C-alpha cells in the first residue's frame, strides 16, 4: 500500500528540480527531459523521446510495467509561459515556500502534476503493479498544443492500449470532463506604399486589416448573442478575440503590411470552420480586390494551431476513475481553457482533466500552488498505486 505521507514530500523535492529548468516555450526543454530520463533510469523505467523536427525539443513517454493493455496515462506539458515584464517578488525559477504556498513559474501549470507523477514511481514499482502506468510529458502546449499530437500517435499505435488518460492541468484536484477547443490564425495583409495624400497611388494594408478585424468584432458579438443558457461553460458562448496586431510604416505613408492574430475558442459541437466561413470569404474577396490593383499585394490567412475541445463523456471511464481517486463527488465541471485532453479524446481515449492548483494562478506573476493541493495530489497518486497493484 502506498502512503501519501512519503509520496508528497518526494514530489515537493522533484518540483524544486523541475521549476529550476527554464522551459519557457520559446526555449528548449531538453535539459528537463534529460533530468527526467536520468530519474527514470535510476528506477529502471523504460522511456523514449518523441522529438520535434529539428530535435531542439521533445516529448517523453515512459511505461511503468507491465506491458499490457488497460493502463492509465498521466499526461502533462513541460513548457511554461514567459515571465517577461511580470512583477515577481521572488525568483520565478526557484520554488519559494511562503504562507502554505509554493511560488514559482510552473508550480501550478503544470510541473506540480509532473512532480507528483514522478514521485509515485518508486511506490508503483514496489507494489508490483498488475496494470501499467504510462507517463506522457509534452512540449509546446502553451503555444497551441503543438507537441502532443506526435506523442499521442505513438501511444495509440505502439503502446498496449491504455484504458484512460488523466491530463493534470490545474483543477484543484477535481475532475473536469470538458474544455473548449481553440483555433488560432495569423492574417497578413500586404498593401502598396504611397504618400498618404495620394491614396489613388497605393493601398493601405492597415485600412484593409481594420475592416477585417471589424468583421471579427461583429462575429464575436454574434457569438455572445448566440450563447446557450444551459451551457456549463463560463462564458456560455464561443469567444473570439484579436490578440495581436502590427501594422505601421509612418503616419504619412500607406502601410505596406499589417499582421494580426486571433483565436476562436469554441465549445464541443460548434464547428469552427462554419463559424469563420464568412470571414474567410471576406479575406478572399479582399485579396482579389487588392491584387486587381497591385499584383504584389493580397491577404493571406494561416492557421497557427488547432486544438479540439474535450466533450463530456456519458459514463466516462476516465472521469469515474479520477473522481474515485480524488474523492470527488461534486457536480459536472467544464473549463473554458484549452488543453491536450481534447487531442487524447480525438485519438479515441477516455480522458479527464484533474491536477493540483487553480487555473486562476496560472500565467500570473507570483504563480503558486498550495501545499494542501500537493498533499491532495499525493493522496490521489497513493490511491493510483493501489489501483495499479490491484489490477482492477
Which pLDDT band, with edges at 50, 70 and 90, does 4 fall under? confident
User: Taking the domains of the chain in order of start, what are their residue ranges?
Assistant: 4-178+309-390, 181-307
Q: How far, in Å, CA of 111 to CA of 279, rounded?
A: 38
Query: Which of the listed CATH numbers 1.10.1740.10, 3.30.70.360, 3.90.1170.50, 3.40.50.300 matches domain 181-307?
Result: 3.30.70.360
Burial 338-363 (b: 16+ CB within 10 A, else e): bbbbbbbbbbebbbbbbbbbebebbb
Q: What does the pLDDT read at residue 141?
A: 97
Distance of CA 374 to the CA centre of its chain: 20
Which pLDDT band, with edges at 50, 70 and 90, does 392 fall under? confident
Q: What does the pLDDT read at residue 221?
A: 98
Average pLDDT over residues 355-363: 97
Task: Tell me: pLDDT of 2 over 60.
Answer: no
Which tens digits make up the pLDDT trace of 17-42? 999 999 999 999 999 999 999 999 99
Mean pLDDT of the chain: 97
**Is the CA virtual torsion 318, 333, 261, 23 positive or negative?**
negative
CA distances from 349 to 66, 152, 156, 264 (A): 19, 10, 9, 25
Q: What does the pLDDT read at residue 170?
A: 98
Q: What is the dihedral of CA 103, 109, 110, 112, to 10 degrees?
A: 30
Under 8 Å between Cβ of 209 and 260: yes
Which tens digits make up the pLDDT trace of 135-157? 999 999 999 999 999 999 999 99
Structure-block grid coordinates of residue 35 = 533530468
Which pLDDT band, with edges at 50, 70 and 90, does 1 fall under? very low
Which residues are catalytically annotated?
79, 141
Task: Tell me: pLDDT of 168 over 70.
Answer: yes
CATH assignment, 4-178+309-390: 3.40.630.10
181-307 and 4-178+309-390 share a CATH fold: no
Which pLDDT band, with edges at 50, 70 and 90, does 248 fall under? confident
Amino acid at each position: 500500500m502506498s502512503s501519501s505521507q512519503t509520496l508528497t514530500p518526494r514530489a515537493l523535492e522533484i518540483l524544486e528540480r523541475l521549476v529550476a529548468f527554464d522551459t519557457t516555450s520559446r526555449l528548449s526543454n531538453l535539459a528537463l527531459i534529460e533530468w527526467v530520463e536520468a530519474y527514470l533510469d535510476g528506477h529502471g523505467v523504460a522511456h523514449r523521446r518523441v522529438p520535434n523536427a529539428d530535435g531542439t525539443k521533445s516529448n517523453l513517454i515512459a511505461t511503468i510495467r507491465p506491458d499490457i493493455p488497460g493502463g492509465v496515462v498521466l499526461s502533462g506539458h513541460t513548457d511554461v509561459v514567459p515571465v517577461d515584464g511580470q512583477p515577481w517578488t521572488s525568483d520565478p525559477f526557484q520554488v519559494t515556500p511562503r504562507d502554505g504556498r509554493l511560488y514559482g513559474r510552473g508550480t501550478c501549470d503544470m510541473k506540480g502534476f509532473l512532480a507528483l507523477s514522478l514521485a509515485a514511481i518508486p511506490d508503483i514499482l514496489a507494489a508490483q503493479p498488475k496494470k501499467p502506468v504510462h507517463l506522457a510529458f509534452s512540449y509546446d502546449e502553451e503555444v497551441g498544443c503543438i507537441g502532443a499530437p506526435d506523442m499521442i500517435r505513438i501511444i495509440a499505435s505502439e503502446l498496449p492500449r491504455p484504458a484512460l488518460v488523466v491530463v493534470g492541468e490545474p483543477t484543484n484536484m477535481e475532475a473536469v470532463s470538458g474544455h473548449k477547443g481553440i483555433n488560432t490564425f495569423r492574417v497578413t495583409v500586404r498593401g502598396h506604399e504611397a504618400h498618404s495624400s495620394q491614396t489613388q497611388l497605393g493601398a493601405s494594408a492597415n485600412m484593409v486589416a481594420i475592416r477585417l478585424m471589424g468583421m471579427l468584432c461583429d462575429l464575436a458579438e454574434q457569438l455572445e448573442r448566440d450563447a446557450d443558457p444551459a451551457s456549463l461553460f463560463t462564458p456560455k458562448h464561443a469567444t473570439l478575440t484579436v490578440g495581436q496586431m502590427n501594422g505601421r510604416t509612418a503616419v504619412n505613408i500607406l502601410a505596406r503590411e499589417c499582421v494580426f492574430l486571433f483565436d476562436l475558442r469554441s465549445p464541443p459541437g460548434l464547428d469552427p470552420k462554419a463559424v469563420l466561413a464568412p470571414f474567410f470569404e471576406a479575406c478572399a474577396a479582399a485579396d482579389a480586390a487588392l491584387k486587381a490593383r497591385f499584383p504584389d499585394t493580397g491577404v493571406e490567412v494561416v492557421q497557427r494551431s488547432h486544438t479540439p475541445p474535450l466533450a463530456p463523456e456519458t459514463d466516462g471511464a476516465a472521469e469515474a476513475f479520477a473522481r474515485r481517486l480524488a474523492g470527488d463527488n461534486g457536480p459536472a465541471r467544464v473549463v473554458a481553457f484549452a488543453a491536450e485532453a481534447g487531442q487524447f479524446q480525438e485519438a479515441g481515449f477516455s480522458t479527464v482533466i484533474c491536477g493540483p492548483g487553480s487555473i486562476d494562478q496560472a500565467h500570473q506573476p507570483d504563480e503558486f500552488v498550495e501545499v494542501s493541493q500537493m498533499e491532495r495530489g499525493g493522496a490521489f497518486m497513493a490511491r493510483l498505486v493501489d489501483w495499479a497493484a490491484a489490477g482492477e
